[in-house]
Amino acid sequence: MMPVIAGVMIGVVTWMACAAGADRAERLSGLSPSPARPSSRIGIVAVLSSITAFVRNGGTVVESFEELAGRSYPSPTITVDRAMEVFDAKRGDDETSDRAWQVAVDVTMACRVSELLGCETARCLSAVSAAYRRECLMEAARSQALAMPESTMKLLAVLPVVTVVLGEIMGASPLTFLFGSPYGWACLLGGLTCYGIGLLWIDALAEPLRGHGAASRKDVRGTVRKPARERDLS
């Protein structure tokens, strides 16, 4: 009787382990292209969430990346280039390759910190995901803040042309005055000069806000990119 009970228990444990592995594989396979979903660009946030969930369920980071990449790695490590391959293939249409590279560097660093310090890998990956979400929110807020000034700048840039066209329609002949007399040429050159200075001034006012995110990423990660790639290629 005891051998039968022991055999049943071993079978149940084996079945549960196989079911858990199949569940993880099925969840990650849902990120791969299929006839029902030809596009695999589900977004970096979804990929980070899936990898974190895979690790929490007992898998490893290498296994999760292998599932997403659709191939096996010759060494059981995650490098920047391997992570970049996955994130660049899965990034959304509104996400750039620079963002995919940034997340790949962060994930690689998180995995190495987890290996060196013994931190929980899932928590390190969750921190990377939270940081990326905050950066996306900052980018969205920055774009919303720039939307109104940029619209105003476009309107003011088109306004002189519209004024000249309306003058011609009304019979005031502004083009004849501008191109037909020395005073017109002087007014035209003065207007174009002021027009160019105004556009440069408005662009200079918006440039600090527009370039803040790119400049901060360059300052923080500019020294990381080259050494990381050199280590991957070595």
Domain ranges in the chain are 44-136
> Which of residues 48 and 157 earns the better pLDDT score?
48
Under 8 Å between Cβ of 125 and 55: yes
| pLDDT tens profile 73-128 | 888 888 899 899 999 888 888 888 888 999 999 999 999 988 888 888 889 999 99
Per DSSP, the three-state class of 83 is helix
> Which of residues 80 and 202 earns the better pLDDT score?
80
How far apart, in whole angstroms, are the C-alpha atoms of residue 139 and residue 172?
47
Phi, psi for 172 (deg, rounded to 5):
-80, -15
For residue 7, name the pLDDT band (cuts at 50, 70, 90): low
Phi, psi for 109 (deg, rounded to 5):
-65, -40
Q: What is the pTM of this model?
A: 0.59
| pLDDT tens profile 30-79 | 444 444 443 477 889 889 998 999 999 888 888 999 888 888 888 888 88
Predicted local distance difference test score (pLDDT) of residue 76 = 85
Mean pLDDT, to the nearest integer, of 127-154? 85
Q: What is the mean pLDDT of the chain?
A: 76
Ramachandran region of residue 173, left (φ > 0), alpha (ψ -120 to 50) or beta? left
How far apart, in whole angstroms, are the C-alpha atoms of residue 96 and residue 84?
12
C-alpha angle 98-214-131 in degrees, rounded to nearest 5: 70
